[in-house]
Amino acid sequence: MPQITLVPTGQIFVTEPGEPVLAAALRAGLNLPHSCKGGHCASCRARILTGEFAYPRGRPAGITADEEQGGYALLCQAIALTDLRVETREVRPAPDVEVKSLPCRIERMDRVADDVMALFLRLPAVEEFNYRPGQYLDVMLSGGRRRSFSIAGAPGDGRLIELHVRRASQSGFTGQLFDSMHSGTLLRIEGPLGQFWFRTESPRPPLFVGGGTGYAPLRAMLRQLVAAGDRRPVTLYWGARGVPDLYEHAWLEDLQRQRPGFSYRPVLSGPPADDAAPWTGRSGLVHEAVLADLPELAGFDVYASGPPAMVEAIREAFPRHGLPREQLFFDSFDYAPDTLAKLQGTAPPGAQ
């Protein structure tokens, strides 16, 4: 089995046959940078110093030919063919959280939009589950598979963990959730995970940009700020296809009226609404709406969460508008790797 050595730390782990380098690192307890695990967000980009690797599904969308030529690889997709030496950094987990694998029970399911379910999970009474708003958890599935979902509630929202799940397939986990799961269904989760959390210590105002259910981790951050009485200015852009997909539009409009400094800017990308419910707000792509309003971004911390195409557009365009890369935090879980592969026509047989 290929052995992976991290530089400069010297940490070593091995990969199983066909196992991506990132998955093997996480399995070994090494928290390497990552987000989408689908080859799109480039969070897991690292330099391969020596050794051979391959992408079974072809070069992922999140890396350019130039980057590849420069020796970089996306560890969430790269399969080691030989021993590798990989230059990357291990991200320390938040000091106040502990990653746990826990059983839980579906307490409640609320259909908040046609294809979005708010799912409330109850943990065993004796277990603490601490997380930072913005982090995600994995739902463990059969055969060692897992699906990642951002936590939509703030830690103070009670003992229930709230997730916003978009239906991404007919027969996979999300399809089963919509069609056959019910309150009382038992699940196993692992978390909290990820490095997408709100940097409270920053003096810069946050600019939240969400697409679809990518709103969920931003909602967790927002609820935390509100609960803490934090009065810093906050701007939220939420991109969705149609009005029904802005499933917390009323709450956000209320919050905008009640909390000085909070600005809510919904943007619809779908076809114009019918005459019965005309849309008088913004239309187009959400990242373009941000740039039209705020062409100079150097003074913000940007938290972006949504489909891979939205996150890619932001990563590409916002630095050209003055945003330093260290002030851009992003997350992208709208599609699981198997769903992405299907969309790209590269799914291995049997993937769902």
315 binds ligand FES (CB under 6 A): no
CA–CA distance, 102 with 56 (Å, rounded to integer): 32
36 binds ligand FES (CB under 6 A): yes
**Token couple for 190:** 């692992």
Nearer to ligand FES, 20 or 155 (CB): 20
Counting every residue written for the chain, the total comes to 352
194 binds ligand FES (CB under 6 A): no
Name 140's bridge partners. 146
Nearer to ligand FES, 39 or 239 (CB): 39
CA–CA distance, 254 with 54 (Å, rounded to integer): 51
The only residue of 25, 26, 41, 181 in contact with ligand FES, by rule CB under 6 A: 41
146 binds ligand FES (CB under 6 A): no
The only residue of 74, 161, 220, 221 in contact with ligand FES, by rule CB under 6 A: 74
Q: How far is the CB of 62 from ligand FES (least distance, A)?
A: 4
35 binds ligand FES (CB under 6 A): yes
Nearer to ligand FES, 34 or 287 (CB): 34
**Token couple for 22:** 């990132």
Nearer to ligand FES, 235 or 339 (CB): 339
40 binds ligand FES (CB under 6 A): yes
The answer to whether 119 and 178 are in contact (CB under 8 A) is no
* Cis peptide leading into residue 192 (ω within 30°): yes
CA–CA distance, 46 with 19 (Å, rounded to integer): 17
The only residue of 34, 147, 164, 315 in contact with ligand FES, by rule CB under 6 A: 34
Q: Within 121-210, where are the H helices?
A: 173-179
Q: How far is the CB of 45 from ligand FES (least distance, A)?
A: 7
AA identity, residue 305: S
287 binds ligand FES (CB under 6 A): no
43 binds ligand FES (CB under 6 A): yes
CA–CA distance, 254 with 258 (Å, rounded to integer): 6
The answer to whether 278 and 7 are in contact (CB under 8 A) is no
Site for ligand FES, rule CB under 6 A = 34-44, 62, 74, 76
